[in-house]
Structure formats: C-alpha cells, structure tokens
C-alpha cells in the first residue's frame, strides 16, 4: 500500500478490451424472433453483438481485458482491482478477487462495483478516490458484463439490444495537469425507478420462483430511453461546469452505448456536434459496464480519439444510476 506521499490524481495509463468470439448478427436473430435487421438498425443502431459461449463467463472476459490494459500500461501489477459488473460469475462472492488471482495478482485488494451500465464510471470514481485518498497508487478498473446470460432468449424487447464484452483501464497516481488525469465526477441515482430495469428473482428478496421469467431482465424501454437522454445530458453539463469547461471545449463524447438514438439525442440536448459522438454500438450492442472502455479502445485504435482530445464520459444504467467525468486523452496504445 502506498504512503501518504504517494497521494495524487488518478491518471489513465493503459487501456485494453476484449470481446467473446461468437458474433450474432441481426439476421440470425430475426430467424428465431419476430424482428428484422431493418427494425433493429433503425431503432437502435445495432447490427451485431458478441455473445459468450456456454461456460464462458464475465470473469473470463474481465481477465482478457485486464491483461491487455496492464500490457498497454507496461505494468504487471497494481495495488487494487475494481471490477464493474452486474453479472458476476456467482451471486456470492464478488468476482474481482478471481480476476485478480487469474491475472497473477493474488493478494491485492479486489472489489466488485455494481452500478450496472454506469458501473465503469462509478468504478473510475472509486479508483480515483482511493488514489487521491492515498489508499492505492495504482488501480486496474475493469468493466465486464455478460447480459446475454440474463435475458429471456424469447424477448424481442431485450435480446436485440444486449451484447457481452469487457474493457479496462489502468489508473496510476499522477498530477492533475497531465494528460489522462481524471477530472471531477458527477454521480447520481434514483432507486424509486429501480423497476424500470429489473430482475425480480434470484436475490435475497426472492431466492426462488416458479416463474422462469422472473429470473430474466425486464425493461420498460421507452421510459428508460427518456431518462437516459435527459440524465446523461444533465450530468454532462454538471461535470463540465465543475471542471470549469463548456460544451465547446469537448472534442469527443463517449456516452454509454445503449442505443444510437440515445447518444444522438443526448448530444443534441447538449449542443454537441454530431462528429464528436463516439459510437461503436453497431458492432457491440449494449455491453453494460464494458461499453465505455470498449468504445474508448475502438476509437483510439481507429484514430478517432487522439492524444490531446478533451473527452467527456457519461453513463446511464439500471438502479437507476448515472454519472460523468472528463479528461484530456493521454498518449497510449490500447491493447
């Protein structure tokens, strides 16, 4: 554990991502569900998603993304592993210790963060706070989810939307004025609306159910859509104000990849140029906590995100939860 002198600002120093190999495109879905490639593309912007194979799990994806983020940062060890996930391998214990062990870091602090699709931004905030508080000098923050294992395979309302994946960053202690330094955070929740995105059974409230549908994710799509646009825009404005910035200072907006129309609607509410919106949802679907680091990695690989860009990150998810942060993109090579 670091000494008091090691306290600093959390700086992103590595980035990695991983997708399961099986790809399911809209045409394949429309053979077994009452839907079409045209409907899914038009209403969501999604053309395909990656799906775990039987037995392949969130920990498997998290380990691959984590390994790549460590390699990208040029380190083989950190003080702490944070795993943002709402789909851990088991209900108990959390999955982060297994990820740390499989990454060759058995013994380091390891903790799951469950803020569903906002999980990566919440875990970044947690890691940044632990670095600035002197608890850790380096943190591996992984966002990994396998929501295709939690949805009803017959439900055309959710199946087209979700995909599986993982993305990760390494945070190290640095100074607030260097590229990669995480700016202020804005975090919120509204538990009164929890049932808009909800799995009824399986937890302590209802361990068993004779109704198999109660173990699947249910979603009130239109209400979620409205909240996602409004809350991400509000939170983005709040974090920019806290950072002393305005919308015109933003080069890239990396929002949670839930629906291309949500990203575009949020950008419009903010007054952001359309080409500032980073979107990889077409080939990943909604990967929940993995979506922001996956989008960052894809954009950086494509040269659409370059060192010096001011990047606004904003997420929204079940809970409800939402939050944002802002940073200047550092010089790194995603792995």
Q: Residues interacting with ligand COA, by CB under 6 A? A: 35, 39, 43-44, 117, 156-157, 160, 219, 221-222, 224-225, 228, 258-259, 262, 286, 316-317
Catalytic status, residue 259: no
| Three-state DSSP state, 290 | helix
Q: Which CB, 156 or 301, lies closer to ligand COA?
A: 156
Taking only Cα atoms into account, the Rg of the chain, rounded to an integer number of angstroms, comes to 19
- Minimum CB separation of residue 274 from ligand COA in Å reads 19
Q: Give least dist CB 297 to ligand COA, A.
A: 20
Which of these is catalytic: 26, 50, 114, 117? 117
Which residue spans within 57-123 are E strands per DSSP? 80-84, 109-113
Q: Which of 259, 266, 286, 309 is catalytic?
A: 286
Q: Measured from the CB of residue 193, what is the shortest distance to ligand COA in angstroms?
A: 12
E-strand ranges in the chain read 9-18, 23-25, 48-50, 80-84, 109-113, 138-146, 164-174, 185-189, 197-199, 217-219, 252-255, 310-317, 321-328
Q: Is the Cβ–Cβ distance between 108 and 135 less than 8 Å?
A: no
Strand order across the beta sheet in which 310-317 lies: 185-189, 321-328, 310-317, 252-255
Under 8 Å between Cβ of 139 and 130: yes
The residue (of 77 and 226) whose beta carbon lies closer to ligand COA is: 226
Taking the least distance from each CB to ligand COA, the nearer of 99 and 258 is 258
- Min dist. Cβ of residue 79 to ligand COA (A): 30
Looking at beta carbons, which residue is closest to ligand COA?
A: 221
Residue 117 bears catalytic tag = yes
- Give the nearest distance from C-beta 329 to ligand COA in angstroms: 24
Told to judge if 286 belongs to the known catalytic residues of this protein, a careful annotator would answer yes
Paired residues of 286 in beta bridges: 162
CB of 94 to ligand COA, least distance (A): 21
User: Nearer Cβ to ligand COA, position 43 or 102?
Assistant: 43
Rounded Cα gap, residues 170 and 75, in angstroms:
9
Residue tagged active-site, from 50, 227, 256, 309:
256
DSSP 112-179: EE--GGGHHHHHHHHHHHHHHTTS-SEEEEEEEEEGGGTS-TT-TTTTTTB-EEEEEEEEEEE-TTST
Half-sphere exposure of 179 toward its Cβ, with a 13 Å CA cutoff?
A: 12
When the beta carbons of 73 and 197 are compared against ligand COA, the nearer one is: 197
Helix (H, G, I), strand (E, B) or coil at 315: strand
Locate tokens 């409004």: which residue?
230
Which residue lies nearer to ligand COA by CB, 316 or 329?
316
Active site residues: 117, 256, 286
């Amino acid at each position: 554990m670091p000494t008091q002198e090691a306290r600093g600002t959390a700086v992103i120093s590595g980035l990695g991502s991983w997708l399961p190999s099986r790809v399911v495109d809209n045409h394949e879905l429309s053979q077994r569900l009452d839907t079409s490639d045209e409907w899914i593309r038009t209403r969501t912007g999604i053309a395909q998603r990656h799906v775990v194979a039987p037995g392949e799990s969130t920990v498997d994806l998290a380990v691959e993304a984590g390994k790549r983020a460590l390699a990208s940062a040029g380190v083989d060890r950190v003080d702490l592993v944070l795993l943002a996930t709402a789909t851990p391998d088991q209900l108990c214990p959390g999955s982060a210790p297994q990820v740390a062990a499989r990454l060759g870091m058995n013994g380091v602090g390891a903790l799951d963060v469950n803020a569903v699709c906002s999980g990566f931004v919440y875990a970044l905030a947690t890691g940044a706070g632990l670095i600035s508080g002197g608890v850790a000098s380096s943190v591996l923050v992984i966002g990994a989810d396998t929501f295709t294992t939690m949805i009803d395979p017959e439900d055309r309302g959710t199946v087209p939307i979700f995909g599986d994946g993982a993305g990760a960053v390494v945070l190290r202690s640095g100074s607030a004025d260097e590229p990669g330094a995480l700016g202020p955070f804005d975090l919120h929740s509204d538990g009164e609306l929890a049932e808009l995105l909800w799995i009824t059974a399986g937890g302590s409230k209802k361990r068993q159910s004779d109704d198999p549908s109660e173990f699947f994710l249910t979603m009130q799509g239109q209400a979620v859509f409205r909240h996602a646009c409004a809350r991400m825009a509000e939170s983005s404005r709040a974090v920019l104000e806290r950072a002393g910035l305005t919308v015109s200072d933003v080069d890239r907006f990396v929002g949670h990849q839930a629906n291309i129309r949500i990203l575009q609607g949020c950008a419009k509410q903010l007054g952001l140029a359309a080409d500032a919106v980073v979107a990889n949802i077409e080939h990943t679907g909604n990967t929940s906590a993995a979506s922001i680091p996956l989008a960052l990695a894809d954009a950086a690989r494509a040269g659409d995100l370059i060192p010096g860009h001011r990047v606004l990150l904003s997420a929204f998810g079940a809970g409800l939860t939402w939050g944002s942060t802002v940073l200047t993109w550092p010089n790194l090579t995603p792995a």
